[in-house]
Amino acid sequence: MTAGTARADLAALQRPVLARITVAAVLQGLATVLAVTPVVVLVEIARRLLAEPARPVWPLAWLAVGLLVARFALYAGASLLAHLADAELSYLLRRRLTDQLSALPLSWFAGGVSARVRSTVQDDVATLHHAVAHARGDLAEAVAGPAVVVGYLLWVDWPLALVTVALVGLAQAIRMRLAARASEQVDRIAAAGAELTAAVLETVRGISVVKAYAGGRGAARLRAAAAEHADADEQAQLIFVRPRGVARATVAPATVVFVVTAVGVGLVAAGWTDPVDLVAFALLGVGLFEQLTPLYLAHDQHQRARSAAHRIAELLREPPQPAVVPERAAAVGTPLTVRLDDVHFSYPGGHEVLRGVSATLRPGTVTALVGPSGAGKSTLAMLVARFADVTSGTIRLGGVDLRDLDRDELYRHVGFLLQDVVLLRRSIRANIALAVPAATDAAVHAAARAASIDHRVRALPRGYDSVAGEDAHLSGGEEQRVAIARTLLAETPVVLLDEAAAFADPDSEAAVQDALAELAAGRTLLVIAHRLYTITEADQILVLDEGRIVERGRHEDLLAAGGRYAQLWQAQNGDRS
């Protein structure tokens, strides 16, 4: 990552709200000017009281009050405008990231990217808050306030003003040098923080493995990440402490008052300065350095924001699964046959998983995929669901290439039921009606009854309103039946099953099998089977080995052939046929 690229990424991401945050910055700059001018008015009141005690000062006092009220109004308007812009940008970015994640091929998620996605969508978008809601306003404040103060002090007494500016300039030079030295360390802390987040997520997800095999020592990655983060922070503090102390001592109120008073007394004694002018420096010079502090903080926050923006932009630049070209988009034809023609597939940078697979899944039939582990069964089903695109060859649904089908059109016809059931943290009703949000309660209950899960759901604390993972704690087989009910309600004519009863306990396996039988009625099924006795009645069995179909046929015919299928059957079932 280069500084120029990160800066360009941040500018591009902020573009939708740039006008509003610029207006907010202008308002905040004006508010800062109005915050300084009442102090100037107070100095003028002091000068007038010392020089002409009888002259009325109430008009100036009311002017100061009016300026303060106007300042509060401007600052409130700037803050509201900037934070509304930040909230909108956060929403827009998270929506873009959600759309992008939905468009990425499933193969992209196979590399263990959950920690990166979580950090980008949640943490990095949040990191942009300061850059959007505060950075420009802080910059305007750090420029406008000191400019007014220095201008006024130069007008009052330029020699004393130069002394004051010299003190502030010295402290600021130390501070900027410190920022330059710390730049690399700040990047190191950010990288260490990202790794620590990823390590925590990994540890939490794999806590059972950590407890069983790490011998109470915790996950090695988490320990290493925590040590690196602590070391990076310690090294940063070693860089910061001494220069920061010198800078703070240089512009401490006591230092500024002492130096300005000492020089001022000398100038007064020499007749070059009016004693009343010291009041202006006592009131305004002391806080001059602090007015520059937002500039320093903004630099640090802006650097973090640029890094966060770059990571967000990198995720948005990930190549999505090719979209359907509008002029090529087609509707599924009839009959609803699934046809695979010479399908090849390779994962990016990996070996070829499927090699010339051809098959036909006719409407209303059951096709079973069997084969040893790593043969390509799940990959083939993934391609039929278009979680990824074939490397070469074609997969057609109703005579139309899947790549020419809009995603919504495809999933109106193709559903899937995987081993690892995913129930969202929503009500059981919402989980069943996920594909049909407008489904009536009667339709949801009917699907649940067909999936043999209605009775169990009604026994939950709040029935169908019970939330999965909160007051609805279901077994693996029960979760699988909820997923079957969801697939039944979706009414897709083609369904992909990845050994749906694999994780069911013995007591619920029969219920799952009954639910699957209900699901199979009248549908085209592609079943990935690991337990061969479950697919003896399949209309056709495709035997995959090393990415190729080495046999196809019905159970009895394949057993009689004595080939690869017969070997697999013998290994699982002995002489049973």
Which amino acid, 178? Answer: L
DSSP 124: I
Q: Which of 365, 389, 368 is nearest to 379 (CA)?
A: 389
Is the pLDDT score of 463 beyond 70? yes
* Beta strands 540-545; 366-370: pairing state: parallel
Q: What is the pLDDT of residues 280-330, one digit of tens each?
A: 676 676 666 666 666 666 666 777 788 888 888 888 888 887 766 555 555
What pLDDT is stored for residue 150 in this prediction?
81
pLDDT tens across 353-411, in order? 899 999 999 888 889 899 888 888 888 888 888 888 888 999 998 888 888 888 778 88
For the chain, how big is the Rg over CA atoms in Å? 35
Of 180 and 384, the structure prediction assigns the larger pLDDT to 384
Least confident of 97-101, 185-189, 392-396: 185-189
Helix (H) or strand (E) holding 528: strand 524-528
pLDDT winner (highest mean) among 113-127, 313-327, 510-524:
113-127
User: Which letter, b or e, does each residue of 460-498 get, where b requires 16 or more Cβ atoms within 10 Å of its Cβ?
Assistant: beeebebbbeeebebebbbbbbbbbbbbbbbebbbbbbb
Q: What is the reported pLDDT for 290?
A: 66
Distance in angstroms (rounded) separating the CA atoms of residues 165 and 284: 12
The whole-number pLDDT of residue 445 equals 93
- Mean pLDDT over the full length of the chain: 79
Q: Whose CA is closest to 25, among 92, 88, 86?
A: 86
Contact 361, 526 (CB under 8 A): yes
How many Cα atoms sit within 13 Å of 470 on the Cβ side?
A: 12
pLDDT at 259 over 80: no
Amino acid at 523: R
Q: Quick check: helix, strand or coil at residue 105?
A: coil
Higher pLDDT, 87 or 534: 87
pLDDT for 207-257, tens place per residue?
766 666 655 555 677 778 788 878 777 776 666 665 566 555 555 556 666
- Interatomic CA distance for residues 521 and 524, integer angstroms: 9
Model pLDDT, residue 183: 60
pLDDT at 513 over 80: no
| Chain segment 47-78, per-residue pLDDT in tens | 777 666 666 777 777 887 888 888 888 888 88
**Cα distance between residue 515 and residue 418, in whole Å:** 15
Domains 3-316 and 338-573 share a fold: no
Give the Å distances, CA to CA, from 318 to 103, 314, 486.
Answer: 10, 6, 31
Architecture of the 3-316 domain: Up-down Bundle (1.20)
Who has greater pLDDT, 391 or 140? 391
Q: Is the Cα dihedral 122, 125, 128, 133 positive or negative?
A: negative
Q: Given 3.30.1490.480, 3.40.50.300, 3.30.1490.20, 3.40.50.1470, which CATH number is that of 338-573?
A: 3.40.50.300
The DSSP call for residue 434 is S
The more confidently predicted of residues 206 and 549 is: 549
User: Residue 338: what are its φ and ψ, rounded to 5°?
Assistant: -100, 125
Are the C-beta atoms of residues 523 and 495 closer than 8 Å to each other?
Answer: yes
Interatomic CA distance for residues 455 and 181, integer angstroms: 67
Q: CB atoms < 10 A from the CB of 163, how many? A: 21
In angstroms, the Cα distances linking 24 to 66, 68, 139, 226, 293 are: 21, 18, 11, 39, 19
* Residue, of 44 and 525, whose pLDDT is higher: 525
pLDDT at 28 over 80: yes
Q: Which residues contact 257 (CB under 8 A, 6 or more apart)?
A: 282, 286
Which amino acid is it at 134? H
3 state SS of 116? helix
The set of residues, in sequence order, having a beta carbon less than 8 Å from that of 69 and lying 6+ positions away, is none
Segment among 205-214, 336-345, 481-490, 497-506 with least mean pLDDT: 497-506
Q: CA 321 to CA 403: how far, in whole Å?
A: 10
User: Tell me, what's the pLDDT at 440?
Assistant: 92
Spell out a b/e string for 327-365, using b for 16 or more CB atoms within 10 Å of the CB, else e. Answer: eeeeebeeebbbbbeebebbeeeeeebbbebebebeeeb
Alpha helices in 385-498 (DSSP H): 407-411, 428-432, 441-450, 454-458, 476-490
Q: Which 8-state DSSP code applies to residue 562?
A: T
526 or 574, which is more confident? 526
Contact call for residues 528 and 497 (beta carbons, < 8 A) = yes
Residues 95, 141 contacting (CB under 8 angstroms) = no
pLDDT at 454 over 80: yes
pLDDT of 171 above 70: no
Name every residue whose Cβ is closer than 8 Å to that of residue 529 and which is 6 or more positions away in sequence. Answer: 368, 369, 370, 499, 535, 538
Spatial separation of the C-alpha atoms in residues 239 and 371, rounded to whole Å: 61
Q: Is the pLDDT of residue 130 over 80?
A: no
Average pLDDT rounded to a whole number, residues 168-174: 69
Greater confidence (480 vs 464) lies with 464
pLDDT higher than 80, residue 567: yes
Torsion of CA 505, 507, 513, 515, to 10 degrees: -100
Ranges 8-12, 136-140, 527-531: which has the least confidence: 136-140
The burial of 235, by beta-carbon neighbours within 10 Å (0-12 exposed, 13-18 middle, 19 or more buried), is given as middle
pLDDT of residue 165: 76
Cα angle: 443, vertex 446, 450; to 5 degrees: 140
- This prediction's pTM: 0.61
Of 123-127, 210-214, 296-300, 543-547, highest mean pLDDT: 543-547
CA distances from residue 221 to 110, 206, 213, 295, 359 in whole angstroms, order as listed: 20, 12, 14, 37, 45
Residue of 404, 394, 419, 407 lying closest to 512 (CA atoms): 419
Going from N- to C-terminal start, the domains of the chain cover: 3-316, 338-573
> Hey, what amino acid is at 487?
T
pLDDT at 542: 92
* Cα–Cα distance measured from residue 118 to residue 97, given in angstroms and rounded to the nearest whole number: 11
